[in-house]
A and B are shown apart, each in its own frame.
Chain A
Amino acid sequence: MAAGPPTVFGHPTEQLADLYSSCPSRHDLVTQLLALFGQNNHLSCPRVFLYGPTGSGKSHVISSILNTLKLPHALVNCVECYTSRLLYDHILNQVALVTPAPDNDYTNYSRCDNMNDFVKTLRTIIEDRELQEETMYIVLDKAERLREMDMNILPAFLRLGELTGCNVCVVLLTEIVWEKFRAGTGMCEPLVLHFPDYTKDELLEILSSDCPTGYTKDFYMSYVNIVLSVFYMACRNLNEIRHLALLNFPKFCEPIKKGEATEEDVHKLWRNIEPHLRKALQTVYLREVSSAQWERMQEGAATQESSSANIKTLTGKVNMELPFYSKFLLIAAYLASYNPARTDRRFFLKHAGKMKKTVQQMKRDERASSQLLGPKPFPLDRLMAIFYSIVEGKVAPTANIYSQISSLVTLRLMTQVGSDDQLDGAKFKCTVGLDFMRSIARTVNFDIIRYLYDFV
C-alpha cells in the first residue's frame, strides 16, 4: 500500500497507513489535503471548498482524516443545523467537547444568538483548551444550505481565521459548484478542490470491501459487476449502489444455497438475478417500497410465486375506488384541463366527420401539445357542461355533485387554483396523469383518447 512518505507532517506512520487504507481510490486527494492542513502547530489553509457528486466520499475522506489523526475539529451538517442558532450551538459544543446528554440536562456549552457571540465564544474556548497553537478544523457539510441563512453567515465563516485571530481551518463540503455561492460584494475565495466521480473500477474496488463472510472476493466482485450493469447508467451514487448490492446479494446466492448452481455458473446466476435487479430499479431505488418490504417480498417469492403481482399492486397506485359520478367528474376535469375551451363544441356537439379535418389543420399551428405543457385551469361551469354531456342519463345538479367535486379536491386529484374559497367563481385543474386517467375511464367504459384534442 502506498502510504505516502512516512511521518508526513508529524503524523505517526501507522495512523497514516490506517487513513490511506480506509480511503481507497482517494489517495491523491488525501495527500493533497494533508499537505494543506500541514503540521498541527502550523497555520493550515484557512478555507477549503470541496465539491463533487454525491457519494464521492467528501464526508468520508474528511471525517477519516480528522478522526484517524485525532485532530481537534467540529463537524456539522447544515441540513441538521438548519438555523444559525443550531449551527453555532453544534459547533461550539464540539469544539468545547460538550455533549448534550441526560446527565447535563441537554444543555449547550453556552447560549449564542449571533455571529458576534459565536466568534467571541469560539476564541474563548480555544484559549481555554490551550489550542492556540493547534489548528481547529470546522467542517460544514451540505454547505449549500448556508446560502439560505442570514447573508453574513457564509462570508463570516470564510474569514473565521481573520475574525477570531485563531488558527482555524474552515472546510465546506457540497455538491454545488463554488460559483453558485458568490453573492453580495463578494467574499474571501476559498481554495476549491474537486472530488471527481469514481470510475467503474474504483467503485468495484470500494464495494469489494463489503464482501460478506463466507464468499470469495472474486465471487462478490462478479456479482457487483452485474449490479453495476443494471444501475450504472441511471445512477452513480456509491451509497445507492452499495445498498442495492447488499440488499440483493441473498437472492443472488439463492440458487447456490438450493444446490441448483455453483459459484462458477456465472451465466445461470446472472439469469436468475437480473430480472430482480431490474425490478429493484423500479421499486427500491425509487423508494416505492422500503428495504424491509423488499426483503419480505423476496422471501415470499421463495415460498410462493406471487411476488410479481405483489410488487405491481405496490407500484401502480391505480387501485382507487371512486363513486360512479366522481369518475365522470374526474374525466370531465381531465378533458377540461387538457383540451382548449374552443374545441369543446366540436367534441360534445355530436358532429362526427367534419371535425377531424379542421382540428388537424388547427393543430399544425399549435407548437406544443397540452400533454406536454400540463393542465390548464378551467372554471366550474365548463366542467359541469362537459360532465353533463359525457355522463349517461340525466343527473340533477344537486349538492351531492358539488360535494363530490370537493372530495376530488381533497383527494388531490384536482386542485383549486387561485385563492377563492367559494366553489363557483373558482378555477380548477386536474392533476392526474394520462395513464391513471385511462384506467379510471376504462372502468366506466369511456374511451377518453377519442375526446382528447392532442390525440385527434
Chain B
Amino acid sequence: MSKRKSTGSAAMSEGACYSELQRVLRERVYKISAPCDVAGENDLDKPRRHLLDLIQRCSSMGESNSALIIGPRGAGKTMLLSSVLAELKENRDFRDNVLEVHLNGLLQTDDRIALKEITRQLQLENVVGNRVFGSFADNLAFLLEALKKGSRDSQAVLFVLEEFDLFAHHKNQTLLYNLFDVAQSQQAPITVIGLTCRLDVIELLEKRVKSRFSHRQIHLFNSLTFDQYLRVFRSLLVLPAEFRDKKFCGKWNKHVESLSDDPGVTSILRKLYDTSKDIRTLKMFLMLPVARICPSHPRLEMSDFVEAHKILTADSKSNTLHGLSVLELCLVVAMRRLSDVFVNQPFNFQMVYNEYQKFVQTRSYAVQSFDRPVVLKAFEHLQQMELVRAAEGAGIGGRGQKEFRPMLLMIDKSQLMQAIQKYPACPTEVKHWANTL
C-alpha cells in the first residue's frame, strides 16, 4: 500500500523482511550438512581437489576407484562430498554419465536391504522382477550389467556409503567385498566413497576386503583457527547480496559485523571454540538466538548469546538433582556417605535405609520421617532416573529381593554439594548432614 513500493527497489514490509531473514538463516543454521563457505585459505581445499579428481576420473575415463573420507563428527565429510558433487553436476556430461547410489549404515542394516535399496535407486526394480540369484555377487553383477545395455557403452555408478563402519558389521562384509571387488577388477566403472568417523575403520575390514580396497584415505579434522571460526560465524549470519530488500540487508549485515567485533560476543565464541572447534556445535549455539529474531526482537543481543551458552553448557546432573524431593535428596546423601565409607563398593537399599534412619532419628524434631515403603518408592524413583544403578556382576546377590540388590551411586561429591547449595529451601539439617561428608 505504501508509496515507497513504487520506487522500484524491492522494499518489503518489516514483517516480510524478518520472515525472509528467518528463512535464509534457518536454512543455514538448522540444516545439518548445509555447506558453508569459508573465504580465504581453507584446509578443505586439498581434500576437495583430491576427491573431485577421483570422481571425475570415473565419469570421464571409466576408471574405477575407492576411497574413504575419515573425520570426527561434524568435521564436514558430508558437506565436502555434497559440495564436490554439486560442482560436478554442473557439467552435463557428468549428469548423463554417472548414477549415484546413496547408502547409509543407519538405514541399510543388512546386505539384503542394501541390495534392494541399490536396485531401487538404480531404477532396476522392473528389470530384476522376480528373478532369483545364486549369490550376492551374481545379483550385483546383474545390476551393473543391466545398466550397460540401455545406454551406449558404460554407465558409471558412484556409491556413497555414509556411516561406512556400520557396513563392516554386516555378515561376512558381503556388500563391501563385492563393491571393492568390482572396483578393483575394473569389471564396471564404479567409484566407492565411504564416509566414517572411526579412525580405525581399516582395522574393521576383513583381510580379503582390505586387500581389495585402494587404501585411499582423505582425512578431515576440525582444525579451524579462531579467525576462521569467527569468519564462519559471520558467514552463517550475513544475508546474501540477492536479498530483496537491500536497505534491510545492509543494516543487518552491518549489525553482524559489529557483533563479530563485540568483545563480549567474541569472548563467548572463544569459550565455545576452546571446548569444541566443530562447526556443528557453533550452529547449535546459534539455533536459539537466530530463532528469537523477529520484529519485536530485531537484533541479536548479548543476552541471547549468554542464554544459548548457558543452555549448551548446562550441568544436567545438577539440574536433575534440583528436581528431587527432599526425601530423595536425603537418600542421595546417605548413599554418598556409604560410597565414601566403603570406597565405592556397592551398597543395597537396606544399608541406605539404615543410614537414613540414623540421620532421621537423631534429628526427629526437624526432619519428617517416612515409612520404609515410602522410602523404597523414592529409592526406586532414583533408580528409574538412573542416578543409581545396579552394580555389575551382582550375580545371585539379591535375586528377587530388591532391598538387597547391590547398587552404585552415579553422583560424585562435588555434584552433590553443588546441588545442595542450589536446592530450593533445603532443610538446614540436611545441609549440615551433607557437609559432614
Q: Which residues of A contact B (CB under 8 A)?
A: 5, 8-10, 32, 35-36, 38-39, 42-46, 51-53, 56, 114-116, 119, 150, 152, 155-156, 159, 161-163, 175-180, 185-189, 191-194, 196-197, 199, 232-236, 281-282, 285-286, 288, 368, 371-375, 377, 412, 415, 417-418, 431
Residue ID in chain B nearest A430 by CB atoms: B401
A8 contact set on B, CB distance < 8 A: 294
Known contacts A46-B32, A178-B316; A156 and B107 CB within 8 A of each other: yes
Known contacts A42-B22, A193-B311, A417-B396; A179 and B316 CB within 8 A of each other: yes
Question: Could you name 13 residue pairs across A and B whose Cβ atoms are closer than 8 Å?
Answer: A5-B296, A10-B19, A43-B27, A115-B106, A162-B32, A175-B385, A176-B386, A177-B386, A185-B73, A185-B165, A185-B198, A281-B374, A417-B396
Among candidates A35, A119, A187, A282, residue contacting B291 with C-beta atoms closer than 8 Å: A35
- Bound Cα distance from A372 to B326, whole angstroms: 24
Question: Does B325 contact A374, Cβ atoms closer than 8 Å?
Answer: no
Residue ID in chain A nearest B376 by CB atoms: A286
Among candidates A159, A180, A197, residue contacting B322 with C-beta atoms closer than 8 Å: A197
Question: Does A116 contact B323, Cβ atoms closer than 8 Å?
Answer: no
Q: Nearest 8 pairs between A and B by C-beta?
A: A374-B404, A53-B323, A197-B323, A35-B291, A177-B316, A43-B26, A43-B30, A156-B106
Could you say which of B1-9, B40-48, B222-230, B280-288 contacts chain A?
B280-288
Among candidates B198, B284, B292, residue contacting A35 with C-beta atoms closer than 8 Å: B292
Question: Does B424 contact A285, Cβ atoms closer than 8 Å?
Answer: no
Question: Does B319 contact A194, Cβ atoms closer than 8 Å?
Answer: yes
- Bound Cα distance from A45 to B25, whole angstroms: 12
Chain B: minimal CB distance from A89 (Å) = 18
- Bound Cα distance from A152 to B32, whole angstroms: 18
Question: Does A189 contact B165, Cβ atoms closer than 8 Å?
Answer: no
B240 is an interface residue with CB less than 8 A from chain A: no
Among candidates B198, B284, B327, B397, residue contacting A189 with C-beta atoms closer than 8 Å: B284
- Bound Cα distance from A150 to B280, whole angstroms: 26
A119 contact set on B, CB distance < 8 A: 107
B320 is an interface residue with CB less than 8 A from chain A: yes
Residue ID in chain A nearest B308 by CB atoms: A191
A43 contact set on B, CB distance < 8 A: 23, 26-27, 30-31
Question: Does B351 contact A368, Cβ atoms closer than 8 Å?
Answer: yes
Question: Does A159 contact B323, Cβ atoms closer than 8 Å?
Answer: no
A286 contact set on B, CB distance < 8 A: 373-374, 377
A232 contact set on B, CB distance < 8 A: 325-326
Residue ID in chain A nearest B20 by CB atoms: A42
- Bound Cα distance from A159 to B197, whole angstroms: 15
Chain A: minimal CB distance from B207 (Å) = 23
- Bound Cα distance from A188 to B371, whole angstroms: 45
Question: Does A38 contact B105, Cβ atoms closer than 8 Å?
Answer: no
Known contacts A194-B314, A234-B374, A286-B374; A375 and B165 CB within 8 A of each other: no
Chain B: minimal CB distance from A187 (Å) = 8
Tell me the chain B residues, 239-264 only, with Cβ under 8 Å from chain A.
Answer: none
B116 contact set on A, CB distance < 8 A: 116
Question: Does B354 contact A372, Cβ atoms closer than 8 Å?
Answer: yes
Chain B: minimal CB distance from A240 (Å) = 10
Chain B: minimal CB distance from A316 (Å) = 11
Known contacts A114-B109, A150-B109, A152-B106; A374 and B398 CB within 8 A of each other: yes
Question: Does A38 contact B291, Cβ atoms closer than 8 Å?
Answer: yes
A156 contact set on B, CB distance < 8 A: 106-107
Question: Does B322 contact A372, Cβ atoms closer than 8 Å?
Answer: no
- Bound Cα distance from A87 to B431, whole angstroms: 45
A38 contact set on B, CB distance < 8 A: 22, 26, 291
Among candidates B109, B378, B404, residue contacting A234 with C-beta atoms closer than 8 Å: B378
Question: Does A163 contact B104, Cβ atoms closer than 8 Å?
Answer: yes
Question: Does A282 contact B371, Cβ atoms closer than 8 Å?
Answer: yes
Q: Which residues of B contact A (CB under 8 A)?
A: 19, 22-23, 26-27, 30-33, 73, 78, 104-109, 113, 116-117, 165-166, 197-198, 280-281, 284, 287-288, 291-292, 294, 296, 311, 314, 316-317, 319-320, 322-327, 348, 350-351, 354, 368, 370-371, 373-374, 377-378, 384-386, 396-401, 403-404, 424
- What number of A-B contacts does a CB cutoff of 8 Å give? 177
B424 contact set on A, CB distance < 8 A: 199
- Bound Cα distance from A285 to B380, whole angstroms: 14
Known contacts A115-B107, A186-B197; A374 and B292 CB within 8 A of each other: no
Among candidates A116, A161, A199, residue contacting B113 with C-beta atoms closer than 8 Å: A116
B385 contact set on A, CB distance < 8 A: 53, 175-176
Residue ID in chain B nearest A435 by CB atoms: B372
A282 contact set on B, CB distance < 8 A: 371, 373-374
Chain A: minimal CB distance from B265 (Å) = 19
Chain A: minimal CB distance from B377 (Å) = 6
Q: Which residue, B27, B291, B325, B384, has most C-beta atoms of chain A within 10 A?
A: B291
- Bound Cα distance from A192 to B311, whole angstroms: 7
- Bound Cα distance from A303 to B26, whole angstroms: 67
B108 contact set on A, CB distance < 8 A: 116
A152 contact set on B, CB distance < 8 A: 105-107, 109, 166
- Bound Cα distance from A232 to B400, whole angstroms: 31
Among candidates A51, A180, A374, residue contacting B403 with C-beta atoms closer than 8 Å: A374
Question: Does A39 contact B32, Cβ atoms closer than 8 Å?
Answer: no
- Bound Cα distance from A159 to B117, whole angstroms: 19
- Bound Cα distance from A358 to B380, whole angstroms: 40
Question: Does B23 contact A114, Cβ atoms closer than 8 Å?
Answer: no
Residue ID in chain B nearest A53 by CB atoms: B323
Question: Does A45 contact B291, Cβ atoms closer than 8 Å?
Answer: yes
Question: Does B314 contact A285, Cβ atoms closer than 8 Å?
Answer: no
A9 contact set on B, CB distance < 8 A: 294
Chain B: minimal CB distance from A315 (Å) = 8
- Bound Cα distance from A292 to B125, whole angstroms: 60
B386 contact set on A, CB distance < 8 A: 176-177, 180
Among candidates A44, A56, A199, residue contacting B30 with C-beta atoms closer than 8 Å: A44
Beyond A52-B323, A175-B384, A282-B374, 7 additional contacts (C-beta under 8 Å) are A36-B291, A114-B107, A159-B106, A163-B107, A234-B326, A234-B378, A282-B371
A196 contact set on B, CB distance < 8 A: 319, 322-323
Chain A: minimal CB distance from B209 (Å) = 19
Question: Does A375 contact B401, Cβ atoms closer than 8 Å?
Answer: yes
- Bound Cα distance from A286 to B376, whole angstroms: 10
- Bound Cα distance from A176 to B389, whole angstroms: 13
Q: Which residue, A150, A175, A193, A412, has most C-beta atoms of chain B within 10 A?
A: A175
Question: Does B348 contact A373, Cβ atoms closer than 8 Å?
Answer: yes
- Bound Cα distance from A116 to B30, whole angstroms: 23
Question: Does A371 contact B374, Cβ atoms closer than 8 Å?
Answer: no
Question: Does A32 contact B288, Cβ atoms closer than 8 Å?
Answer: yes
Chain A: minimal CB distance from B295 (Å) = 8
Question: Does A233 contact B368, Cβ atoms closer than 8 Å?
Answer: yes
Chain B: minimal CB distance from A40 (Å) = 11
- Bound Cα distance from A188 to B278, whole angstroms: 12
A179 contact set on B, CB distance < 8 A: 316-317
- Bound Cα distance from A115 to B166, whole angstroms: 14
- Bound Cα distance from A194 to B374, whole angstroms: 27
A178 contact set on B, CB distance < 8 A: 316
Question: Does B325 contact A372, Cβ atoms closer than 8 Å?
Answer: no
Question: Does B294 contact A5, Cβ atoms closer than 8 Å?
Answer: yes
Question: Does A36 contact B398, Cβ atoms closer than 8 Å?
Answer: no
- Bound Cα distance from A418 to B399, whole angstroms: 11
Question: Does A235 contact B292, Cβ atoms closer than 8 Å?
Answer: no
- Bound Cα distance from A167 to B327, whole angstroms: 44
Among candidates B22, B33, B113, B165, residue contacting A162 with C-beta atoms closer than 8 Å: B33
A372 contact set on B, CB distance < 8 A: 348, 350-351, 354
- Bound Cα distance from A388 to B320, whole angstroms: 54
Residue ID in chain A nearest B384 by CB atoms: A175
Among candidates A44, A177, A187, residue contacting B320 with C-beta atoms closer than 8 Å: A177
Question: Does B294 contact A161, Cβ atoms closer than 8 Å?
Answer: no
